[in-house]
Structure 1
């Protein structure tokens, strides 16, 4: 069973469709659903609402190999931190980390310790290098990295030997998020021209390429660490 957040478009949709094409069953979690497939089922949930996330429940997964991919993410308002509303970081952290963490906790409690289980959180290079006007996003993705490392350590100590928690940076991907970044005024985002250049020089990954690289990492490579970049994965 493959469980993915944010499957309505972009990377999440491409990941879901790649798994469906391989005959896997997929559960998509999010506000909107655009995939119609006999092996796709949906759980409607606003991931920015902690109470809605708490209400999520899953079918019996005791006989399943499970992969959970927390792909859903938001950039938040692109502007200097002193210009943001007070709740901006909390909202971004909720979607990018807390919602995925709450879902992972549900799954860890439900899935038998002997079951093959992979948890993947989509991270970002912005979690390793500061980008002005992206304080909320950078903070959330840095938190994702250390959260995944900590969960991996904990589950090893608890004896869940067939478990891996991964934090995976996909690279710069041609998504609606990138389109929004390019439309930001330079007065709010000093590096906007760099991101326009990525698009104009064809340096952006397609979501479909990201989906294929992620599948290779999760299912075809030895996993000896927690933090990965898909830039390092060759097809």
Structure 2
């Protein structure tokens, strides 16, 4: 009988995320059921201090180009599955671009992977009846356009979106829940079925769960969706309270 890792006796997940990201790793750890471990491999990412509408995509593409190095690094711990802890590159060029990114990682590693874009779609499908979205991101408008394009390819319409336009990668993690509450209220409306937050360095796991209660509709934090997707893709169906309906019910 094959021996299992004493802590990751159910699954070992390899997680790739930008070296500037300080949110996704603790977010995933908060939602980790017994017997599942997450092993973070940092994608080298210079901390740009003058991110703009023109430079955001170029900077994100640097992260995308360095991803396979992080994949090769984390593979040395022999994970069972991979999780992408950076969302922007998984929305580039719509569904075709997302599929291309997944293929590149899976061909390099020989493992399957959960990515933010496809995980959010799967989460929306789990809730059911969602067609009209509002989108919240720490990005710049040029990147929001890519997110809207992806969801359009998947059959959703985006009613409203908000790009927080954070000026550097680490500034994303400095946005507080108190700042985000009024933004969520502005995005909401009778013409919106669900709110989706993208950008894995934006701390929204707890806030999204709370917002579902006072908005009365799905509010999907991308870190919750991605982690949920990875668990369910591996047959791990543990339900967890405190992280919204996605983790508690589906």
The alignment's TM-score, normalised by the length of structure 1, stands at 0.42
Q: Which has the higher contact order (CA 8 A, sep 6+)?
A: 2
The alignment's TM-score, normalised by the length of structure 2, stands at 0.40
